[in-house]
Amino acid sequence: MNTQTVKVDKGVDNDNSYQQTVDCLRNGGLVAFPTETVYGLGALATDPDATKKIFEVKGRPSDNPLIVHIGTKEEVSTYAAEIPDSALRLMDAFWPGPLTLIFNEKPGLIAENVTVGRGTVGLRMPDHPVALQLLRLLGAPLAAPSANRSGKPSPTKASHVARDLDGRIPFILDGGATGVGVESTVIDMTTTPPEILRPGGVTVEMIEAVIGPVRSESHAEEADAPRAPGMKYMHYSPDAPVWLIEPDQNQIEQAIRALTDKGLKVAVIGPDELESNKPSWYFATGAYADPSQLAAHLYDALRNCDETEADVILAVESPSEGMGAAVMNRLKKAADGKRFLV
Ligand code: TXA
Ligand code: MG
């Protein structure tokens, strides 16, 4: 299969460039498209043969449900069996935007392999002109996980999608680099209080300011059966092992020395302020005090490490408040929990 990359400009209403991708989706094909968080790999959410291809192309475990993307808030009542008042308030505050709400589903509409028979459906209205235009022209919901091979960092550029899926999908809509850079927050609205299953672009602080206290991911991680099935899998992994390290000049220098003494090449992902540490490669991710800059650059930096000869990747920890919660969640998974102690 030849993969065609179709360039679309943000905000430009050029229906022609979308038409072939809309036709492809209507015929049960897959299209990668940009959202404000990461690129998604879309298929018609109501077509089980189409959505089955998503799992095959990504190498995704079949027990991990897919998020369903919709173009209007009104569509929630089509697919959700009931809509709690708190969900309405979150939709008003944050949609379109990086927040996925889990509802009990109305049976028989969304393909069963999308919800993996859980009786719930994750809905989100993305805040990206290309995604919204695609959904408007299609007039149907799109099941779309991140458009990476399972286990790899999510794609924040069309070139990342091509690297993982070239030859496996017919179309990539190229809308440039995504803005937020980490995936949407996933919150389960079927429990009281609602529970954050995955931290993301809308922070727990922002959510609690609208609907009051919620349960957060740390509890879910301790539970035997993770509530967001995706949480149990290996994630965001470059080829070389990742170790977390404190944002401390001395520690980083010592770590680099200890590793280079063993003949290992080191790449560092860290804030602009610590760039003077002289590893073989330093990928700067913005100001330390602003984790949203790290969010925007993290997956690109992890993928850039794959383009180097690094044997080890040191990733500098970020503050854990606000967007820092989502970033540290991804970094811990990329490192499989490993911290470098000198
Ligand atoms: O920002 C995003 O959310 C991106 C863009 C493309 O929208 N999508 C994305 O999808 O990150 P994915 O498949 O990589 O992650 C979806 C997460 C998984 O952890 C999955 O387990 C959880 O959402 N999820 C989806 N539907 C669910 C459901 N019904 N119940 C519980 N968890 C669900
Ligand atoms: Mg993913």
DSSP letters spanning 86-101: HHHHHHHHH-SSSEEE
The alpha carbon of 225 and the centre of ligand 2 are apart by a number of angstroms equal to 19
Which residue type is seen at 162?
A
Q: 174 in ligand 1 pocket by Cβ < 6 Å?
A: no
Q: 297 in ligand 1 pocket by Cβ < 6 Å?
A: no
Q: What is the pTM of this model?
A: 0.95
What does the block give as tokens for 167?
């030859």
Q: 146 in ligand 1 pocket by Cβ < 6 Å?
A: yes
What does the block give as tokens for 336?
């499989």
Residue 121 three-state SS: strand
- ∠ CA 201-315-255, nearest 5°, is 160
CA distance 259 to 262: 5
Q: Which atom of ligand 1 has the smallest separation from the CA of 69? A: 7
Ligand closest to CA 183: 1
- Kindly report the backbone phi and psi dihedral angles of residue 211, in degrees, each rounded to the nearest multiple of 5, phi listed first: -120, 5
Which residue type is seen at 80?
A
* Tens place of pLDDT per residue across the chain (342 aa): 999 999 997 656 566 789 999 999 999 999 999 999 999 999 999 999 999 999 999 999 999 999 999 999 999 999 999 999 999 999 999 999 999 999 999 999 999 999 999 999 999 999 999 999 999 999 999 999 999 999 999 999 999 999 999 999 999 999 999 999 999 999 999 999 999 999 999 999 999 999 999 999 654 444 444 556 666 666 788 899 999 999 999 999 999 999 999 999 999 999 999 987 678 899 999 999 999 999 999 999 999 999 999 999 999 999 999 999 999 999 999 999 999 998
* Alpha carbon nearest to ligand 1 atom 15, residue: 145
* Alpha carbon nearest to ligand 1 atom 22, residue: 228
H or E element that contains 67: strand 67-69
Sequence-ordered list of residues with C-beta below 8 angstroms from that of 84, at least 6 positions apart, any chain: 189
Is-cis flag, bond preceding 96, omega within 30?
Answer: yes
DSSP state of 231: G
Q: Which atom of ligand 1 has the smallest separation from the CA of 198? A: 19
270 neighbors 247 (Cβ within 8 angstroms): yes
Q: 121 in ligand 1 pocket by Cβ < 6 Å?
A: yes
Q: 333 in ligand 1 pocket by Cβ < 6 Å?
A: no
Q: 100 in ligand 1 pocket by Cβ < 6 Å?
A: yes
